[in-house]
C-alpha cells in the first residue's frame, strides 16, 4: 500500500504526519510505503491513500481515496480515521 502525506509545501506538516502514520501503520500491522509531498507533486501520481489536514479538504474534494485529520500529531485520531477508511474499503 502506498500512502502519501500531503501539505502545502511538502516539508513541515507532511513530514510530521508521515512520522505519525509510520507509527500508526506499524501498530495496525499494515505493510506500506509512506511518502510526504506537496500539493503540486501529487497530481498525476499513483497512490492508494492520500492523507492530509482538514484545511485542504476543498483542494481534494474530487479525490475519493483521501483521509482528513485535524491533528497531525494525534496518533489516536490518525489511527481511528485510517481504520475507518480501511474498514469501509473492505
Strand order in the sheet with 2-7: 33-38, 2-7, 49-53, 66-69
Q: What is the pLDDT of residues 22-46, one digit of tens each?
A: 999 999 999 999 999 988 888 888 9
Q: pTM for this structure?
A: 0.90
Assign residue 21 the CATH number of its domain: 3.40.50.2300
> Rounded CA gap, 10 and 20, in Å?
15
Give pLDDT, residue 9. Answer: 66
User: What's the pLDDT score for residue 41?
Assistant: 84
* CA proximity to 70, closest of 84, 52, 88, 86: 52
Total domains, the chain: 1
Q: What is the DSSP letter of 65?
A: S
Q: Which domain holds residue 76?
A: 2-89
Q: At what angle do helices 75-89 and 12-28 cross, to 10 degrees?
A: 60
Amino acid at each position: 500500500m502506498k500512502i502519501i502525506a500531503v501539505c502545502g509545501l511538502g516539508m513541515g506538516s507532511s513530514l510530521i504526519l508521515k512520522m505519525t502514520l509510520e507509527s500508526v501503520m506499524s501498530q495496525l500491522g499494515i505493510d506500506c510505503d509512506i511518502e510526504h509531498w506537496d500539493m503540486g507533486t501529487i497530481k498525476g501520481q499513483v497512490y492508494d491513500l492520500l492523507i492530509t489536514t482538514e484545511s485542504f479538504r476543498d483542494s481534494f474534494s474530487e479525490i475519493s481515496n483521501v483521509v482528513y485529520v485535524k491533528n497531525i500529531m494525534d496518533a489516536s485520531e490518525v489511527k481511528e480515521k485510517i481504520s475507518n477508511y480501511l474498514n469501509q474499503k473492505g
